[in-house]
């Protein structure tokens, strides 16, 4: 009896592995690379580079996406609003989207920041405003610490930058483990994740409504491919210990900084991260938005652009812009159909 049970189990696991491989290839065919591969020293990062326009009124801009994302997530809202105003680099973080992972150093925000710096140098970008959303905020902060000469300013959007109480979601912990993690990533993660793409994205946006085409435009399904899923899990589970070591150094950052965050963010605790940045970075401007969730990049894009302009030195009243954004969100009451949180 035990032999039959084991045989059925082996067949089930093998079937899930094959199905995952086939489905991952379908996802890749649906969301192919849309940029170029930039060699950063033995491995390549996938990026979309928008050259400097003749009439640029802003310095170069580099956009860093968050956990479970890829460059499409930042390019969708920001490229249309900033086209013709600045040189821009939208980049898949190491091991995400279509970027190669590189070495073990890329398991930390600091390592990923250095990889992004090399990609900038390869495109002739000597200095830029760094814009980081969520997990990308930790990378933006590390970039400013390790590459201050390349940092023209910082814009944090619902950032994850400080250690927090508790841990992370169980599936991140499971997928990051040796042996068990790869097995989970190659069998159950993709079919389970596909059932949660729409509802999980809705939770990230709540209380603001998720755009109907968000999943199609930003391709979060790419993170469900086995190796990408593992990379994402390793990043997320390693974030808190990394921030415990690095966040005390934020007082070293001496660059114009703006932080845009919502009081209804259920993914990252704004009173820990955003308020922590405002406390730690001298003269950083914190912009609180009532009734805003975890996606200021998509929900209050114009305000985020005003923050970029302010950091670039333009005369912008961010608090007045925030009041206008709040008025537009006052009647948002979208409900999260589950719990999705970087902080568990």
In whole angstroms, give the CA distance from residue 62 to residue 53. Answer: 15
Return the structure tokens found at 280: 């730690």
Residue 341 confidence (pLDDT): 46
Tell me the three state secondary structure of residue 129. Answer: strand
Sign of CA dihedral 223, 227, 229, 230: negative
What mean pLDDT value characterizes the chain?
96
This prediction has a pTM of 0.96
For residues 81-95, give the mean pLDDT: 98
The residue extents of the domains of the chain are 2-329
Whether the predicted pLDDT of 120 surpasses 60: yes
**What pLDDT is stored for residue 12 in this prediction?**
87
CA distance 284 to 271: 15
Tens digit of pLDDT for each residue in 230-284?
A: 999 999 999 999 999 999 999 999 999 999 999 999 999 999 999 999 999 999 9
- pLDDT of 313 over the 70 cut: yes
| Model confidence pLDDT, tens digit, residues 146-188 | 999 999 999 999 999 999 999 999 999 999 999 999 999 999 9
Does the pLDDT at position 344 exceed 60?
A: no
Q: What is the pLDDT of residue 340?
A: 44
Average pLDDT estimate for 217-225: 98
Return the structure tokens found at 303: 């305000």
Q: Which tens digits make up the pLDDT trace of 32-41?
A: 999 999 999 9
User: Percent of the chain scored above 70 by pLDDT?
Assistant: 97
CA distances from residue 84 to 54, 57, 88, 198, 268 in whole angstroms, order as listed:
8, 9, 10, 33, 33
Token readout for 30 is: 């649906």
- For 2-329, CATH number? 3.40.50.1820
pLDDT of residue 343 exceeding 60: no
Instruction: Please compute the mean of the pLDDT values over residues 89-114 and round it to a whole number.
Output: 98
User: At CA 111, angle to CA 107 and CA 112, rounded to 5?
Assistant: 85
Residue 4 pLDDT class (50, 70, 90 cuts)? confident
- What percentage of the chain carries pLDDT values higher than 90? 94
The predicted-structure confidence for 10-19, as pLDDT tens digits, reads as follows: 788 899 999 9
State residue 338's pLDDT score: 58
Q: Are 133 and 67 in contact (CB under 8 A)?
A: no
pLDDT digits (tens, 9 = 90+) for 42-55: 999 999 999 999 99
Q: How would residue 337 be classed by pLDDT, with cut points 50, 70 and 90?
A: confident
Q: For position 7, what pLDDT does the model report?
A: 76
Please report the pLDDT score of residue 321 as a whole number: 96
């Amino acid at each position: 009896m035990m032999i039959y049970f084991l045989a059925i189990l082996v067949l089930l696991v093998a079937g899930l592995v094959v199905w995952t491989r086939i489905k991952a290839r379908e996802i890749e065919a649906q969301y192919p690379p849309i940029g170029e591969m930039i060699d950063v020293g033995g491995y390549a990062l996938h990026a979309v580079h928008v050259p400097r326009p003749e009439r640029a009124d802003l310095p170069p801009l580099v956009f860093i996406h968050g956990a479970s994302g890829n460059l499409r997530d930042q390019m969708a809202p920001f490229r249309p609003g900033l086209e013709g105003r600045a040189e821009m680099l939208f980049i898949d973080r190491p091991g995400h989207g279509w970027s190669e992972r590189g070495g073990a150093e890329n398991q930390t925000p600091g390592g990923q920041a250095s990889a992004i710096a090399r990609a900038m140098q390869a495109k002739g970008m000597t200095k830029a405003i760094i814009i980081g959303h969520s997990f990308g905020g930790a990378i933006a902060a590390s970039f400013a610490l390790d590459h201050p000469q390349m940092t023209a300013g910082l814009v944090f959007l619902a950032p994850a930058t400080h250690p927090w109480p508790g841990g992370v979601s169980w599936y991140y912990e499971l997928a990051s483990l040796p042996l068990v993690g790869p097995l989970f990533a190659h069998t159950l993660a993709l079919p389970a994740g596909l059932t949660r793409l729409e509802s999980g994205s809705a939770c990230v946006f709540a209380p603001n409504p998720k755009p109907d085409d968000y999943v199609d435009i930003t391709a979060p399904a790419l993170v469900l491919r086995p190796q990408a899923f593992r990379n994402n899990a390793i990043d997320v589970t390693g974030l808190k210990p990394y921030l415990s070591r690095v966040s005390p150094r934020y007082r070293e950052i001496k660059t114009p900084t703006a932080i845009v965050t919502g009081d209804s963010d259920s993914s990252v605790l704004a009173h820990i991260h955003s308020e922590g940045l405002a406390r730690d970075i001298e003269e950083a401007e914190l912009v609180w938005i009532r009734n805003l969730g975890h996606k200021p990049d998509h929900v209050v894009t114009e305000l985020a652009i005003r923050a970029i302009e302010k950091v670039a030195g333009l005369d912008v009243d961010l608090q007045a812009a925030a009041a206008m954004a709040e008025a537009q969100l006052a009647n948002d009451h979208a409900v999260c159909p589950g719990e999705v949180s970087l902080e568990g």
